[in-house]
Amino acid sequence: MAEITASLVKELRERTGAGMMECKKALTENNGDIDAAAEWLRKQGLAKADKKAGRVAAEGRIAFAQDGGKAVLVEINSETDFVAKDANFIAFADTIAQAALASGVADAEALKSVALPSGETVEEARAAAIAKLGENIQIRRMSRIDTANNVAAYVHGGKIGVLVEVAGGDADFARGVAMHVAAMNPPYNKAADVPAEFVAKEKEIELAKMSEKDKAKPAEILEKIIGGKIAKIVNEVSLYGQPYVLNTDQTVEQAAKAAGADVVGFSRLLVGEGIEKVVEDYAAEVAKAMQV
């Protein structure tokens, strides 16, 4: 068998556009014959799959898996919502989430090399899914909690996923908090978690908004006015300061105390968050084509 060198793998990757792992496997399966390896990749659909990798995948699904205090969320992206709702895509996403939970890996990059019950790796399964569904599919990110405390995993409509860790209380309260985080998207957990830089900037803004008359007030009164405004802002951006969605007569902090609980932390994933979506203007495209 011919030696599978890094340069040979690189050459096959440049020739086919397939991933490094797939190219190495193709060369191994074909005794280092690059022509046969290229044909093998095409037959497997892997070369075709990788050519779709440059296309924007901003739709998709948040999948989750949980076993007691161990839970994961995985964001898996597709190009269209149509594919995201396909039964094959949903089954693929659920399989990946279960693999993430069982493997113990902490991030999406490590997840790629995890072996599935089928014997293929997650990355190989992703490439096969691309070939089958005809769209770029990416396993973008994941979140994990592993604790002895109460854990709630909540997914809303397949698009928003939340993990919450709660010390004390019960499973119902933890789930309620997860639903709150899904709905209200608080950036921080408690007032103490709000960065000092954020508070300083808000003080600066509030001071700039004040009239000259108010600015001329005694320092202690001015500080009291600004302090009240900042306290309101901090409550708005922290979970504990927000009105609890399941009982708006209480803040989340008050609800936690009533439940004998303390929210240790949470994570929230939104499908496509931060990805710049390409908006196709088909009418303009057709009009332009007609002018040619």
**pLDDT tens-place string over residues 197-230:** 999 999 888 888 888 877 788 878 888 888 899 9
pLDDT at 87: 95
119: in domain: yes
Q: Residue 223 pairs with which residues in a beta bridge?
A: none
The amino acid at residue 261 is: A
92: in domain: yes
| Contact assessment for residue 144 and residue 206, using Cβ atoms and an 8 Å cutoff | no
Residues 48 and 77 in one domain: no
Range(s) of the domain holding residue 78 = 59-146
Distance CA 70, CA 149 (A): 10
Mean pLDDT in residue range 153-161: 96
pLDDT at 48: 53
Quick one: angle between helices 6-16 and 20-29, nearest 10? 110
Residues 23 and 82 in one domain: no
| Per-residue pLDDT at 80 exceeds 60 | yes
Residue 4 binned pLDDT confidence (cut-offs 50, 70, 90): confident
For the segment 107-142, what is each residue's pLDDT rounded down to a tens digit? 999 999 999 999 999 999 998 898 888 888 999 999
Nearest to 100 by CA among 75, 79, 127: 75
| Per-residue pLDDT at 172 exceeds 80 | yes
CATH assignment of the domain containing 26: 1.10.8.10
Residues 128 and 75 in one domain: yes
| Per-residue pLDDT at 34 exceeds 60 | yes
CATH assignment of the domain containing 73: 3.30.479.20
243: in domain: no
Helices (H), the chain: 6-16, 20-29, 34-44, 46-51, 81-84, 87-103, 108-111, 122-133, 171-184, 196-209, 212-215, 219-237, 252-258, 282-291
| Contact assessment for residue 250 and residue 237, using Cβ atoms and an 8 Å cutoff | no
| Contact assessment for residue 79 and residue 56, using Cβ atoms and an 8 Å cutoff | yes
Does residue 213 come out as left (phi exceeding 0), alpha (psi in the -120 to 50 range) or beta? alpha
39: in domain: yes
45: in domain: yes
Residues 35 and 95 in one domain: no
What is the average pLDDT score of the chain?
A: 88
Mean pLDDT in residue range 78-85: 92
Number of domains in the chain: 2
| Per-residue pLDDT at 51 exceeds 60 | no
Residues 40 and 100 in one domain: no
Residues 14 and 48 in one domain: yes
- More confident call, 199 vs 274: 199
The residues, ordered by sequence, that sit 6+ positions from 201 with a Cβ below 8 Å of its Cβ are none
In the numeric block, which tokens belong to residue 199? 């508070």
167: in domain: no
Residues 137 and 84 in one domain: yes
Mean pLDDT in residue range 46-50: 55
pLDDT at 292: 45
Residues 42 and 63 in one domain: no
Distance CA 75, CA 71 (A): 14
Which of 146, 175, 202 is where one domain is finished? 146
113: in domain: yes
Mean pLDDT in residue range 245-273: 97
> Where is average pLDDT lowest: 86-100, 177-191, 271-285?
271-285
239: in domain: no
Radius of gyration for the chain, computed over Cα atoms and rounded to the nearest angstrom:
25
- Residues of the chain with pLDDT > 70, as a percent, come to 88
| Per-residue pLDDT at 18 exceeds 80 | no
| Contact assessment for residue 164 and residue 178, using Cβ atoms and an 8 Å cutoff | yes
Distance CA 61, CA 140 (A): 11
